[in-house]
Structure 1
Amino acid sequence: MIQSVKVKNLSLSKDNVRKTNREAGIDTLAANIAAQGLLQNLIVTPLKKAGHFTVKAGGRRLRALQLLIEQGTLPVDHTVPVLVLTDDDNAIEASLAENFQRVPMNPADECTAFNFLIQKGMTAEDVAKRQGVTTRFVEQRVRLAELAPCVFEALAAGEITLGVAQAYAVTSDIDRQARVFAQMSTSYYGDTPDNIRRAILNGTVKANDAKARFVGRDAYLAAGGRIEGDLFATEGDENWIDVDLIETLAAKKLEAAAAELAQSEGLAFVTPIAATHVPYDLERQLHEFHAPARALTEDEQTRVETLSAENDQLVEQLESVLADGTPEAQMANDRIDAIERELETIDDARHEIDPALKAQIGTFIYIGGDGEPRVHTRLFSEKPVVDPNAPPRTTGGETGEGAAGDAEQGSKLSATLIDELATQRRQILVAHIASDPAMALDLTIFLMAQNVVFEQHHVPNHSTLKSSAAGFPIFGFRDEGSMASQTIDDQRQRLDTSWAGHTTMTERFDAFRALDDEARGAWVAFSIARTLEPTLNVAEGYRQNAFHDHLGRTLDIQVAHWWRPTAENFFGRVKKGIMLDALEEIGGPILRGRYKDAKKGDLAATCASLCNGQGIVEAEIREKATAWLPDAMRFDAVEKPAKTALRSSFVDGDDGNDPAEDEDTDIGDVDTDLEPDDRAGDQDDDQDLSEAA
């Protein structure tokens, strides 16, 4: 029997078969009841107290009604229709039937219904409010309702899942959806959302791409560019469709910036590079120019000394007399800042380039990873720079770097005597340098730094100390686009090369020693780092060097922040078992089993997508995937002792040159096969250093 009962007279029965997830979706159901009313009556049985009933079926509806009354949406004495049963057994059976016999609504029908409401004139916000869902949920369902007919029909027929349909819906281009659907229908692994999404988005650019950020969203749209938001990804994620337009706009904007920079700085040229780095090959086609810093004038030197003394005095006061936070301490800190700014101004004046020289040199402008234009800090010239203010050359040979003219003025010495005297003078020089650590350290850094700057020129320095860049084992390998390579390029650009513009090694060394500790320290760090050869954490081969692993651990290197495995650089080049092992390490046997029958190419793409945070998986699995690395790329190896201890010549008192002992010394797993020092052509590249500078 159907009758009306006040909600406050209803209570939930303990016999209701739904025991778990009772509170799930109550807010949504309440919003729907508020908009549509109670569309289905409750099933109740009477209690002993007259007019009171216990709800056997419809417990969630009762909670939703109680929530609406509590919120004030419904009145306290609100009544609802109920079906009154007198038999408890029948009531339990009714509760079971109501919960057990439910058939979930087909996603396609949901989409059609939401789209129907929108077509009637309701806004997405209105529908969301009436149905108790988010506006984004409504927009997602409407997007699915507008899928290509073939895709939507497959969703309605249960041939594809909701996740697959969402992958097709990342674009509103139904023709592209239909083409990809036709391709994927015949693919063995064409029902994977990651593969579908990758195929759909092929040829598009993400909004966070460096070029897209450089062009700007407004400029792109104003030029007719098309943007599609991915409703099924992170909110705000967009795909820019017209890649050619992005390239054109980026090139025009960069050309304008290059022209403006060239005019404002008086440079001969500024070459725009519509990329995130300047190709090394372009640099090699030009002459690198190093502007020497002039010496300080007497007035400048006096001012620098005065400011430095004042700075030291203020620092001493802050450390010993002035208390933190007092007005006096704040005044002292402000004065120190002012001193630093004035010293920087004086130093900048030393590095100003003569306008006559600027008219012969130029540089590059490119797009930084943050989407901002970046100016190459190094300067170049198409031809050797000619300084119109330089004194004319005198006949009788070049000056500096060991001119031959002076040697021929005196009496000629025999070759044997020259060798003997040179050896004796070398011994004297070595004895003195070895007793002066400060001079030796400066000389070490200078020789390595000079090797970096003039590595394309033959500069005889009569020292065996080198810091040549280690050669890549793959000829012609280029990796400028990686985060690590870009960082190395930035480090190279920040090095102070003012000393390199001088024409003699003597002048360069004196100018180098005049640099501050931080500038010289940057040179030694860069010079030493570039000598490291490629090694890998593998069990076999000469590529293993566990000492490098120790360096990596000491520096706390987080490889996952710098390198991610992709189908191109890893997964597509290993056996299927390695990929499945990676999946098991990330998500356990379940994740491995999910992809065990996939084709190798599809599996490589899936693994790459997961490890780059693009897979549709649980948050815990995504976190593990984005941190996963192959063992070879980890700095986990531990160095093993050499099989025979290396003997020190200093301990034994010999000169370490006994060939017999050298043959007997076994240094364990260290591979003594040396790769050829790729210095071929150095002698052929001899150039006048004054021109190179």
Structure 2
Amino acid sequence: MIKSVKVKNLSLSNDNVRKRGREVGLEELAASIAANGLLQNLVVTPLKKAGTFTVKAGGRRLRAIQLLIGRGALAADHEVPVLVLSVDDAASVGASLAENRQRVPMNPADDCLAFKHLIDQLGMTVEQVAIQQAVTVRFVEQRMRLADLAPAIFEALGSDEIDLGVAQAYAVTADVDRQARVFEQMKHSYYGKQPDNIRRAILNGTVRPNDAKARFVGREAYVAAGGRIDGDLFALDTDDENWTDVDLLEDLATKKLEAAAAELAAAQGLAFVTPIAATHVPYDVERQLHEFHPVARPLTDEEQARIEALGLENDALIEALETDLAEGTPEANAANDRVETIEREIAEIDTARKTIDPGVKANLGTFVYIGGDGEARVHTRLFSEKPLADPRAGGAASGNGAGPGETGSGDDAVADPSPRLSATLIEELATQRRQILVAHVASDPMIALDLTIFLMAQSLVFTTSYVRDHSTLRADPAQFPIFAFRDEASMASQTIEDQRQHLDTTWVGHTTMSERFDAFRTLPDDARGAWVAFAVAQTLEATLNVADGARANGFHDHLGRLLDIQVACLWRPTAENYFGRVKKDVMLDALEEIGGPILRGRYKDAKKGELAATCAALCNGQGIVEAEIREKATVWLPEAMRFDNVERPERVPARSTFVDDGDAVGSDGDELDGDDLDGSELDSGANPLGDAPTQEPVDDDYPQAA
């Protein structure tokens, strides 16, 4: 029997079979009842007190109504329809169980069509439907996107051939033609029903909004030109979207870069500015031209005096900021502003020293490209089609051909003015002179330090030219273990290229080593420091955090920890550089390390290629997973790429020209006997005449870093 009963006369029965999840969705249910009323009666049995009942089925509805009454949305004496059963425990429990078990969820396809009917046929807005159905606006938009799936996909959803997650993967784009093409391909694939695989196939050939070219062009300009954007309504990030017209984006980026190049060439009076629609200028493109190194003129007496005065003032302000002036006070702010003004004035004086002769500049050019931050960047170096000379250098043209300092030949060779000496006497005199020079250089640490940095820097600058420097000191870039390995696209390689471009080369254009060395010594400490840091860094060989083998080097791991290197910021594992080149078990181990056995089990039956793509997407923040798993995945690294290896003790001989006792010890302090030495260590020192040890020739054909 159905009757109306006041809510205040109802109580929840202990016989209700739903014990868990009673509060799940209660707010949404209350909102739905407030908008549409109670659409299904409650099932009750009478209590001993007349007019009171206990609810056997419909407990969540009762709590939702009580919530509305408590908030004042319904009257305190609000009545609801109930079906009254006889007092029978078996019957009441059975009724509760039947109601909960026989409740069959709607097919997602029917659900989507119902939402579409409310909007398209009944004229309701998305917001109105969201209020009526007690869901979010985004949920309604998601249902509408699914309702507009390609017919074949929507039919598969309605017939339970695919589940809701698969349908959502296809709906990542609104392009139904693309949906249909991918669906046709995927339905014949064994793993064609995995959402991650579908989503990658759908998005292949699209561009993310954080792509350098997308940021350079700008969303507004892209859309104004007719560019299409698909928002992923099913992504965790509500701003997730994909730009689908890649050709249009490329065209817009090229045109914008060309305009920037033309403007720069006109403003600076350059012969050419070549636009490069990429995040770096390819090394091969640079090498087709001759790099020009302008010579900085000496400071005038007035400029030198001004710089010294500014330096003293700057030092005094810095000291006051560190000791006397409290941060945030007007005095401290004024001091900071003055420091910035001083820095700008010094920079202007330095720039004036490097002004290029207009006649020379008219034959020079450079490149403009797109930085990783989406901004147009100008290459810091200048180039020419033919070797050019800076008039202030007073010598031959400089460029990437024959370098300054190259010995002439033929008619240009300079005759040796020295008297005829025997070969033996020449060698002996040269040796004695070398010893005298060495003794003096060794007694002057500052000259020695400048010479060290200069020789290393010069060897880097003139890698393609022969410059006779009469020294064995080099900072030759370490050879890559892989022939012709190129990695300009990585963040690390881009950073190295930026560092290379910003090295101060004002000393390079001089035509003699003496002039170059004197000019080099006038560089500020930070400029010379940048050269030694870059040069030394280039000498580091390729190593890995592995247990053993030729690539193991715990000292490099130690350096990484000292530098607090965050590898994940510069390198992420992809299918191309890692996952596609390891065994399936290695990939599954990575998934387990990221998300535990559950994540591993989710993909244990995937094929190797699809598993590699899944792992790559996950580690690059594109997988659809729980937030905590996503966080772990975006910083996960294979063990070999981590800097957490500890250097093992190594037995090394200590016997050298600096040890007089002849004992040799290992790094663990143990004394080594003669059997531990093979004799080669004792031959590495200089001979009595100071002859330098033989240097192995470098294979010029082997690729070296710029």
TM norm structure 1? 0.91
Contact 2:294 2:390 in 1 (8 A): no
5 Å-filtered alignment, 1:154-165, equals 154-165=156-167
- Taking structure 1 as reference, are residues 641 and 197 closer, same or farther at Cα in structure 2, changes over 3 Å only? same
Deviation at 1:435, TM superposition (A): 1.1
Contact 1:401 1:504 in 2 (8 A): no
- Taking structure 1 as reference, are residues 588 and 324 closer, same or farther at Cα in structure 2, changes over 3 Å only? closer
Contact 1:41 1:83 in 2 (8 A): yes
Contact 1:646 1:665 in 2 (8 A): no
5 Å-filtered alignment, 1:258-657, equals 258-317=261-320, 327-387=330-390, 408-643=416-651, 645-652=653-660
Deviation at 1:622, TM superposition (A): 2.3
Contact 2:280 2:488 in 1 (8 A): yes
In structure 2, how many angstroms separate the alpha carbons of the residues matched to 1:240 and 1:436? 62
Any idea what the Cα deviations from partners look like across 1:142-168, whole Å, max 9, x if unmatched? Answer: 111111122112112222121111111
Contact 1:642 1:666 in 2 (8 A): no
One-letter amino acid of the structure 2 residue matched with residue 378 of structure 1: R
Match of 1:166 in 2: 168
**More off after superposition, 402-411 vs 580-589:** 402-411
Match of 1:211 in 2: 213
Contact 1:356 1:387 in 2 (8 A): no
One-letter amino acid of the structure 1 residue matched with residue 42 of structure 2: L
- Taking structure 1 as reference, are residues 72 and 352 closer, same or farther at Cα in structure 2, changes over 3 Å only? farther
Match of 2:96 in 1: 95
One-letter amino acid of the structure 1 residue matched with residue 284 of structure 2: D
Match of 1:109 in 2: 110
5 Å-filtered alignment, 1:192-207, equals 192-207=194-209
Deviation at 1:587, TM superposition (A): 2.7
Contact 1:451 1:467 in 2 (8 A): yes
Any idea what the Cα deviations from partners look like across 1:629-673, whole Å, max 9, x if unmatched? Answer: 2222222332222345443331137899xx999634699xxxxxx
Match of 1:688 in 2: none
Q: Which runs of 5 or more residues in structure 2 are unaligned?
A: 397-402, 665-673, 683-693
In structure 2, how many angstroms separate the alpha carbons of the residues matched to 1:629 and 1:320? 44
In structure 1, how many angstroms separate the alpha carbons of the residues matched to 2:656 and 2:696? 27
Aligned-residue identity in percent: 71
One-letter amino acid of the structure 2 residue matched with residue 72 of structure 1: G
In structure 2, how many angstroms separate the alpha carbons of the residues matched to 1:644 and 1:592? 45
**More off after superposition, 574-583 vs 644-653:** 644-653
Match of 2:134 in 1: 132
In structure 1, how many angstroms separate the alpha carbons of the residues matched to 2:229 and 2:695? 51
Any idea what the Cα deviations from partners look like across 1:293-341, whole Å, max 9, x if unmatched? Answer: 2111122122222223333444455556666666555544443333333
In structure 2, how many angstroms separate the alpha carbons of the residues matched to 1:578 and 1:676? 40
In structure 2, how many angstroms separate the alpha carbons of the residues matched to 1:677 and 1:242? 52
Deviation at 1:136, TM superposition (A): 0.8
Deviation at 1:528, TM superposition (A): 0.4
Contact 2:393 2:509 in 1 (8 A): no
One-letter amino acid of the structure 2 residue matched with residue 680 of structure 1: D
In structure 1, how many angstroms separate the alpha carbons of the residues matched to 2:331 and 2:175? 68
Any idea what the Cα deviations from partners look like across 1:570-605, whole Å, max 9, x if unmatched? Answer: 111122222222223223333333322222211211
2:33 aligned counterpart, secondary structure: helix
2:105 aligned counterpart, secondary structure: coil
One-letter amino acid of the structure 1 residue matched with residue 120 of structure 2: Q
Any idea what the Cα deviations from partners look like across 1:17-49, whole Å, max 9, x if unmatched? Answer: 212111110111112112211111112233344
In structure 1, how many angstroms separate the alpha carbons of the residues matched to 2:334 and 2:591? 60
Deviation at 1:239, TM superposition (A): 1.5
One-letter amino acid of the structure 2 residue matched with residue 56 of structure 1: K
In structure 2, how many angstroms separate the alpha carbons of the residues matched to 1:328 and 1:222? 49
Any idea what the Cα deviations from partners look like across 1:51-102, whole Å, max 9, x if unmatched? Answer: 3332221111112112222333323332211122331412222222111222
- Is 1:17 matched up with 2:37? no
Deviation at 1:400, TM superposition (A): 6.9
In structure 2, how many angstroms separate the alpha carbons of the residues matched to 1:358 and 1:655? 63
Match of 1:691 in 2: none
- Is 1:237 matched up with 2:240? yes
Contact 1:36 1:130 in 2 (8 A): yes
1:485 aligned counterpart, secondary structure: helix
1:19 aligned counterpart, secondary structure: coil
1:344 aligned counterpart, secondary structure: helix
Match of 1:142 in 2: 144
Any idea what the Cα deviations from partners look like across 1:112-147, whole Å, max 9, x if unmatched? Answer: 111111212111111111111111111111111111
In structure 1, how many angstroms separate the alpha carbons of the residues matched to 2:470 and 2:695? 23
One-letter amino acid of the structure 2 residue matched with residue 663 of structure 1: D
1:627 aligned counterpart, secondary structure: coil
**More off after superposition, 73-82 vs 202-211:** 73-82
Contact 2:209 2:215 in 1 (8 A): yes
Match of 1:248 in 2: 251
Contact 2:393 2:510 in 1 (8 A): no
- Taking structure 1 as reference, are residues 654 and 261 closer, same or farther at Cα in structure 2, changes over 3 Å only? farther
Contact 1:643 1:666 in 2 (8 A): no
One-letter amino acid of the structure 1 residue matched with residue 81 of structure 2: P
1:649 aligned counterpart, secondary structure: coil
In structure 2, how many angstroms separate the alpha carbons of the residues matched to 1:390 and 1:593? 69
Contact 1:471 1:678 in 2 (8 A): no
In structure 2, how many angstroms separate the alpha carbons of the residues matched to 1:589 and 1:317? 59
Match of 1:687 in 2: none
Any idea what the Cα deviations from partners look like across 1:261-308, whole Å, max 9, x if unmatched? Answer: 000011111110001111010111111111122111122122222223
Match of 1:690 in 2: none
Match of 1:152 in 2: 154
In structure 1, how many angstroms separate the alpha carbons of the residues matched to 2:182 and 2:695? 49
1:137 aligned counterpart, secondary structure: helix
Deviation at 1:675, TM superposition (A): 13
In structure 1, how many angstroms separate the alpha carbons of the residues matched to 2:69 and 2:584? 60
**More off after superposition, 329-338 vs 433-442:** 329-338
Any idea what the Cα deviations from partners look like across 1:172-230, whole Å, max 9, x if unmatched? Answer: 22222222112111111111111111111122111221111211222222222222111
Contact 2:544 2:551 in 1 (8 A): yes
1:205 aligned counterpart, secondary structure: coil
- Is 1:663 matched up with 2:678? yes
In structure 2, how many angstroms separate the alpha carbons of the residues matched to 1:276 and 1:341? 29
Contact 1:644 1:665 in 2 (8 A): no
**More off after superposition, 84-93 vs 30-39:** 84-93
Match of 1:680 in 2: 700
- Taking structure 1 as reference, are residues 324 and 172 closer, same or farther at Cα in structure 2, changes over 3 Å only? closer
- Alignment RMSD: 2.8
Contact 2:394 2:510 in 1 (8 A): no
Deviation at 1:618, TM superposition (A): 2.2
Deviation at 1:623, TM superposition (A): 2.6
Q: Which runs of 5 or more residues in structure 1 are unaligned?
A: 668-673, 683-693
Structure with the higher fraction of residues in helix conformation: 1
Contact 2:404 2:467 in 1 (8 A): no
One-letter amino acid of the structure 2 residue matched with residue 86 of structure 1: S
- Taking structure 1 as reference, are residues 248 and 345 closer, same or farther at Cα in structure 2, changes over 3 Å only? same
Match of 1:57 in 2: 57
Deviation at 1:536, TM superposition (A): 1.8
The count of corresponding residues between Structure 1 and Structure 2 is 670
In structure 2, how many angstroms separate the alpha carbons of the residues matched to 1:138 and 1:237? 17
Match of 1:45 in 2: 45
